[in-house]
Amino acid sequence: MNTHLLTNLVKAEANRLGFEGCGISKAGFLDDEAPKLEQWLANNMHGEMKWMENHFDKRLDPRKLVPGAKSVISVLLSYHQPELAEKHNENQSNLKISKYALGEDYHFVVKDKLYELFRFIEEQVGEINGRVFVDSAPVMDKVWAVKSGLGWMGKHTNVLNRTEGSWFFLGEIILDVEFEYDGPITDHCGTCTRCIDACPTDAIVQPYLVDGSKCISFFTIELKDEIPTEYHDKLGNWIFGCDICQDVCPWNRKAKPGSENRLFAREDFLDKGLEYWDELNLDEFRKLFKKNPVKRTKFEGLKRNIKAAKKNI
């Protein structure tokens, strides 16, 4: 099968599976990203996320993850629910969870679809060597999404798409099959600095550069120790993650609603008052957050976050 036909078939199948975008890049070493990543790590902008230091070479070259890899297929899957997002933002009297974590764990949802796409490619070309990735290995997913034309890198370092905004998950298939390759699109952030101006912890230290060790998402998810007291009043009412830089982005006002119901927010995450969070016990935590990203912070971490954030209500 020629590459033009195969490329069109794969993109059509990705669309049928519910992905809002699919782009394909030639696998190779990320020359431009190597010095940026090295400097970012040297400046300790990853904080306690020491896993970011591991597999430096694999992070920059997908052929070290999949020997013989020729292509990186990038997909995006929206989780945007405009009406629910508005309700979520308006409720300032309750503690808040980042909108991406209000539905089923995206790792499962995106991977399920990617494995279906992988099997479809096998049906077209025969046995292939490849792997599926969803935020689960040293893959620079945002960089590959930009290279494949799924969007441009916003000043908040989230990928932005003209129709989907930034309310989406990314996933990849790295494989030893050749396709017709896409290219990057232009940056449409212009002179806007709303994400930079809105960040309460000044984590966006300059356009396109985020100090992860100052991000509210880092404090409420990745940090294992106590949240520094000087940041308590900056947490607002966030107890898992943070959407501030995305909420203020003009492109997200234009974003289309997502269609994958497994990612849709559960109502029981939106109607929990402060008293509920105060009295949350381990059994209830396990029940509420089964197959949900919030379990990543663990029970003790969530209770720590609740204690710090409730002072701001």
pLDDT in tens, 17-69: 999 999 999 999 988 887 787 776 676 655 555 555 555 678 889 999 999 99
Same domain membership, residue 304 and residue 207: yes
Domain boundary among 175, 204, 234: 175
How many CA atoms lie within 13 Å of 271's alpha carbon, on the beta-carbon side?
Answer: 3
Specify the DSSP class assigned to residue 139. Answer: -
CA distance 120 to 188: 34
How many other C-beta atoms lie within 10 A of the C-beta of residue 207?
16
Which pLDDT value is given to residue 219? 95
How many other C-beta atoms lie within 10 A of the C-beta of residue 175?
25
Which pLDDT value is given to residue 234? 95
Average pLDDT rounded to a whole number, residues 137-154 = 94
Residues 232-273 have pLDDT tens digits of 999 999 999 999 999 999 999 989 999 999 999 887 777 788
Same domain membership, residue 51 and residue 109: yes
Same domain membership, residue 31 and residue 167: yes
Query: Using N-to-C axis directions, what is the helix angle for 3-16 and 106-125, rounded to 10°?
Result: 150
Give me 306's structure tokens: 């609740």
Phi-psi region for residue 272, left (φ > 0), alpha (ψ -120 to 50) or beta? beta
The confidence band for 85, taking pLDDT boundaries of 50, 70 and 90, is: low
**Active-site choice (135, 176, 187, 247):** 135
CA distance 143 to 273: 39
- Report if residue 189 sits inside a domain: no
Domain boundary among 119, 140, 175: 175
Same domain membership, residue 209 and residue 106: no
In the chain, DSSP assigns E strands to: 21-26, 71-78, 96-97, 130-133, 152-153, 159-160, 168-175, 204-206, 209-210, 238-240
- Report if residue 180 sits inside a domain: no
Same domain membership, residue 69 and residue 216: no
Give me 48's structure tokens: 């306690």
**Interacting residues of 123 by C-beta distance below 8 A, sequence separation 6+:** none
Same domain membership, residue 204 and residue 95: no
Could you tell me if 93 and 200 are in contact, meaning their C-beta atoms sit under 8 angstroms apart? Answer: no
Could you tell me if 64 and 10 are in contact, meaning their C-beta atoms sit under 8 angstroms apart? Answer: no
Compare 15 and 94 and report the one with higher pLDDT: 15
Average pLDDT rounded to a whole number, residues 272-299 = 92
The confidence band for 90, taking pLDDT boundaries of 50, 70 and 90, is: low
- Is the confidence at residue 81, as pLDDT, over 60? yes
Same domain membership, residue 120 and residue 161: yes
- Is the confidence at residue 97, as pLDDT, over 60? yes
Same domain membership, residue 101 and residue 70: yes
State what percent of residues in the chain have pLDDT above 90: 76
Which pLDDT value is given to residue 88? 61
The pairing of strands 96-97 and 238-240 is parallel
Same domain membership, residue 18 and residue 163: yes
Provide the whole-model pTM: 0.92
Q: Look at the chain and report how many structural domains it folds into.
A: 2
Same domain membership, residue 41 and residue 98: yes
Query: What b/e readout covers 18-54, taking b as 16+ CB neighbours within 10 angstroms?
Result: bbbbbbbbebeebeeeeeebeebeeeebbbeeeebee
Residue 32 is among the residues annotated as catalytic for this protein: no
Average pLDDT rounded to a whole number, residues 271-280 = 87
CATH of the domain at 145: 3.40.109
- Is the confidence at residue 289, as pLDDT, over 90? yes
Domain boundary among 175, 203, 218: 175
Could you tell me if 81 and 260 are in contact, meaning their C-beta atoms sit under 8 angstroms apart? Answer: no
DSSP secondary structure string, 42-76? HTTTTTT-GGGGTTHHHHH-GGGTSTT--EEEEEE
Same domain membership, residue 235 and residue 170: no
Compare 277 and 88 and report the one with higher pLDDT: 277
Q: Both ends of the chain: CA-CA distance in Å?
A: 60
- Report if residue 80 sits inside a domain: yes
Could you tell me if 80 and 257 are in contact, meaning their C-beta atoms sit under 8 angstroms apart? Answer: yes
How many other C-beta atoms lie within 10 A of the C-beta of residue 212?
18
- Report if residue 101 sits inside a domain: yes
- Is the confidence at residue 91, as pLDDT, over 80? no
Kindly report the average pLDDT of the chain as a whole number.
Answer: 91
Domain with 49 in it: 3-175
Could you tell me if 296 and 239 are in contact, meaning their C-beta atoms sit under 8 angstroms apart? Answer: no
- Report if residue 305 sits inside a domain: yes
- Report if residue 45 sits inside a domain: yes
- Is the confidence at residue 5, as pLDDT, over 70? yes
Same domain membership, residue 150 and residue 32: yes
CA distance 189 to 208: 11
Which pLDDT value is given to residue 89? 60
- Report if residue 100 sits inside a domain: yes
- Report if residue 67 sits inside a domain: yes
Which pLDDT value is given to residue 112? 98
Average pLDDT rounded to a whole number, residues 140-152 = 97
